[in-house]
């Protein structure tokens, strides 16, 4: 009996990258369910003599071993957020622009399609290449396939520069901001609200913290030539026991997105300095990533794909590379504002221009 994967038509990586995008979007691969797609990828690359293919769970690494001076890692995740009636994909034309519509088209199967096509095609690139397609990006960090492979086979992460195919409208977005979430707590004294003067209102004690947040002017910080815009925000607030009780505890949940010139430890110190009178509990932390655009290889890449690099604000897996000492950027087709949207859709032209730009750089034609 054929398996679910083998019953599907094989992937044709000689097709154009728009067709490949459609083909791999129509193989559902919500996080945890990447196997069928991973099987197709392995099968499609099996005949390529220039590639060493390694599989770890549903993560596939394919690399050249051409003895080049420098090695570039190019990665993309195979999984998507849950489908919401938007698979299979279809083509739509809006204002004369042709789009591929459906789950995964933006985040990030268009980027993966470009990578798969070039992985098979480029048998003689000017740098050695390590391609990585991984599982479980859209769920909790512990499950992330890239993290798992980094634990199992850290040697596969050797490289001088990394490109993550996350949607960036076909522009280079360097590094990413760090992310910190803390809970600030104020304490008081419980009392019946008919005799409030006997108590001490913990919610009222959050007033200075909210005031400071409302007045806070987030910095814009230049790192390696890119300007990172920070943000400091309340993302939650709770307090209160009953309609007739003066509350003795209140909590303010604060999110700090900080430029990658700061470490998490420095970010915590900054927040602690801003709110010295509260009990502070760190609930989430992630280092940012410097864009690493001072590296000549990176500068060459930015010039090759055209235009100016921009900072990436959201946290992405480039930070994993950064933590391993590999400068990393995001570069992929698709508008990031359409990622996870029910009307997720990618402009077909963007897929093709990303394909051309990446090919030109990797073959020395740019």
Interface with its own copies by CB under 8 A: which residues? Answer: 177, 179, 181, 192-197, 201, 203-207, 210-211, 213-214, 218, 229, 231, 233-247, 250, 252-253, 255, 257, 283-284, 313-315
For residues 326 and 130, the answer to whether their CB atoms sit within 8 Å is no
CB nearer to its own copies: pick between 67 and 243: 243
Count of Cβ atoms closer than 10 Å to residue 10 Cβ = 13
Residues contacting 232, CB < 8 A, separation 6+: 213, 216, 218, 254, 255, 256, 257, 271, 274
For residues 117 and 41, the answer to whether their CB atoms sit within 8 Å is no
| CB 269, min distance to its own copies, A | 20
Buried b (16+ CB within 10 A) or exposed e, 291-315: bbbebebbeebbebbeeebbbbbeb
| CB 218, min distance to its own copies, A | 8
For residues 219 and 230, the answer to whether their CB atoms sit within 8 Å is yes
| CB 88, min distance to its own copies, A | 28
CB nearer to its own copies: pick between 127 and 186: 186
CB nearer to its own copies: pick between 142 and 155: 142
345 φ/ψ angles, rounded to the nearest 5 degrees: -165, 150
CB nearer to its own copies: pick between 237 and 272: 237
The CA distance from 265 to 258, in Å, is: 11
Per the annotation, the verdict on 128 as an active-site residue is: no
Catalytic residue among 137, 166, 230, 355: 137
| CB 330, min distance to its own copies, A | 13
CB nearer to its own copies: pick between 125 and 178: 178
Kind of pairing, strands 128-134 and 71-77? Answer: parallel
CB nearer to its own copies: pick between 65 and 220: 220
DSSP string, 176-201: B-EEEEEEEEEE-B-EEGGGGGGSB-
Per the annotation, the verdict on 137 as an active-site residue is: yes
The CA distance from 212 to 4, in Å, is: 56
Catalytic residue among 39, 58, 79, 107: 79
| CB 302, min distance to its own copies, A | 22
For residues 160 and 72, the answer to whether their CB atoms sit within 8 Å is yes
| CB 227, min distance to its own copies, A | 13
Count of Cβ atoms closer than 10 Å to residue 277 Cβ = 9
Q: Which two tokens stand for residue 62?
A: 């394919």
- Alpha helix segments (H runs only) across the chain: 17-25, 35-45, 110-121, 145-152, 207-215, 264-274, 296-305, 318-323, 348-362
ω into 108 cis (within 30 of 0): yes
| CB 172, min distance to its own copies, A | 18
59 φ/ψ angles, rounded to the nearest 5 degrees: -105, 135
Question: Looking at the annotation, which residues are catalytic?
Answer: 79, 137
């Amino acid at each position: 009996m054929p398996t679910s994967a083998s019953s599907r038509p094989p992937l044709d990586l000689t097709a154009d990258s728009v067709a490949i995008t459609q083909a791999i979007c129509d193989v559902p691969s919500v996080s945890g369910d990447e196997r069928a797609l991973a099987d197709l990828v392995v099968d499609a690359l099996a005949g390529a003599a220039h590639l060493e293919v390694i599989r770890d769970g549903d993560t596939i690494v394919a690399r050249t071993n051409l003895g080049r001076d420098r090695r570039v890692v190019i990665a993309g995740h195979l999984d998507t957020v849950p489908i919401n009636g938007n698979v299979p994909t279809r083509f739509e034309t809006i204002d004369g622009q042709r789009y591929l519509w459906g789950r995964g088209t933006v985040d990030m199967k268009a980027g993966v399609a470009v990578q798969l096509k070039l992985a098979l095609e480029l048998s003689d690139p000017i740098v050695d290449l390590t391609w990585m397609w991984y599982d479980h990006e859209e769920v909790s960090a512990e499950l992330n396939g890239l993290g798992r492979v980094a634990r199992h086979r850290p040697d596969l992460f050797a490289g001088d520069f990394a490109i993550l195919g996350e949607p960036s409208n076909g522009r280079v977005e360097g590094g990413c901001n760090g992310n910190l979430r803390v809970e600030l707590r104020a304490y008081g004294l419980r009392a019946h609200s008919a005799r409030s003067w006997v108590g001490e209102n913990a919610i009222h004690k959050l007033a200075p913290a909210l005031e400071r947040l409302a007045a806070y002017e987030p910095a814009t910080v230049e790192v390696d030539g890119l300007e990172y815009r920070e943000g400091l925000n309340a993302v939650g607030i709770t307090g209160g026991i009953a309609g007739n009780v003066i509350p003795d505890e209140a909590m303010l949940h604060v999110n700090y997105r900080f430029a990658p010139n700061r470490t998490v430890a420095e970010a915590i110190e900054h927040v602690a300095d801003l709110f010295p009178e509260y009990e502070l509990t760190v609930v989430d932390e992630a280092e940012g990533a410097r864009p690493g655009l001072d590296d000549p290889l990176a500068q060459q890449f930015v010039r090759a794909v055209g235009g100016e690099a921009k900072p990436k604000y959201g946290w992405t897996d480039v930070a994993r590379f950064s933590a391993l000492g590999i400068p990393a950027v995001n570069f992929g087709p698709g508008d990031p504002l359409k990622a996870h949207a029910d009307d997720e859709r990618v402009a077909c032209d963007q897929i093709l221009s990303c394909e051309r730009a990446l090919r030109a750089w990797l073959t020395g034609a740019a």
